[in-house]
Structure 1
Amino acid sequence: MGALDGRVAIVTGAGRGIGREHALLFAAEGASVVVNDLGGANDGSGSDAGPAQQVVDEIIAAGGKAVANTDNVADWAGAKALVDQAVSEFGGLDVLVNNAGILRDAFIAGMSEAEWDAVIAVHLKGHFAPLRHAAEYWKTRSKAGEPVAASVINTASASGTFMPNAGQANYGAAKAGIAAMTLVAAQELERYGVRVNAIAPIARTRLTLATPGMGALFAQEVPEGEFDAFSPANIAPLVAYLGTEKCPFNGKVFAVQGGAIFELDGWRGGRTVETDGPWTLDNLDEHLADWA
């Protein structure tokens, strides 16, 4: 008996890297998996049905159940078709893992509109669009009196939460938006039997290897037989756990890397100053002098 027996899962961006590990583990734990991947390059250009189908072939060869999907998750109709495929192929949908992403790094002063728009579209809209169509499906089932015990796992990033990275204003903003959207969705969808959580993973992928200042760290070779702290396989167990039917968490964002998991607290109130009347430039200077 697997921890995900009988559950139907969509994993976006599952043709390579972290998403591939998610799909393989979900299938090994008994889930039927829709392996979504447009098959584009790091910057999102192009398409290739090969990566998604290769993962499906690997799952089927191991005795699991999977189908490929190459829809663009940033496209409204494509995201709906992805959800519809899970329902038509496997009879329902229980888990949505939003993982697809691209990079178009640039410093703010030189970033083009296209570089901004593409990253926001694939990451932020590419999380929202599948979530929106899945949420409609679960809401309809719940309103009809059917039991729902669904789970959404979004993919934020250290870059958009606790470790901002120069050159990634587009990526960091999208990932911070994903973390915030996760908290809102957790509140909205709980009434329909849906839990929504997010992870902020740190692992070796083609994207992190291409990130300036980080590639050398992730590219370090690990001697055979030693624990590889940056392997993308280290991320999948937490995601699978969050996708189980009886997982208790909702509205959480977990950073995960190697053998470590820690909860991110988000924005919290810190130091406070007050005045009896309205603020002025003079009394602001006086009250905030110690904060500089």
Structure 2
Amino acid sequence: MNRSAARSGLMLLPALTGLFALAPAAHAEEFALSVSPPRFELSADAGQTVRGVVELSNASAMATPLKFSTAEWDLNPDGGVRTSDALRPNSCRPWVAIERKETTLQAKSQLRYRFEVTPPAGTAPVECRFAIIVAGRDENIKSNGLEFPVSAQIAVLVYVAVGGVKPQLEIVKADVRTINGQQTPVLEVKNNGQAHGRLSAFLKSVDAKGVKRELAPSTLPILPGETRTISLGVDNGTDAVEADKASPPAKPDPITFPLKVSGTMNDSVSAFAFEGTFEP
């Protein structure tokens, strides 16, 4: 982390689960599947196998056919996930073995689904990233006289740090952006390392009217080589996690800028003091 830059003034869940249901008006089978954890952050050495277990729970009163696959993924600027079946150059998905490709999860029941990742011997240090896709049955449904295909899916994101790779986060700019119709303090954060990183912090702030607030940075990941806008929101004890559809945050009272912020920040590797003044 570039501490001097930081001092110069520069997603609902870990317990969640993804819960999806098709609208009753569509007359489709219910897809009410919960998945825990929503992401895995693992580490391995070249030639070593690392394993994980996804816990699935079917809240529906009906048995649910499921299909499993792996996918590439990216994050939108707002943290939404884009997945792709196409194998990318240098993809680590060939290192991945999944327990099965199809199963039926009975009503009101649970399943422990296993996967493993084996980086080949001699693999250079790198962060392996992929998604495990859990998909319901493809259906054609009718709604308001129209028929269209629907496929409900959940993406479980997996990070594997191979060879001890770490993030190297640098705060390059403090700014104010309009988010959800309100001016919000943000940090532009660049990752010069080889693994994803997240900011965490306990920050106190005072605005131009003397209103004091405790702030926390969004916990969205900053991927290697990426510069991402990380918002500082009023700390209400929730955790923002990358997801296809994030719950909209409650609107805080407007901040009167300039806003002075100070406290302790952690860049996934070390902790340091932070001070900054944010103004439009």
TM-score after normalising by structure 2 = 0.27
Task: Say which structure is richer in strand.
Answer: 2
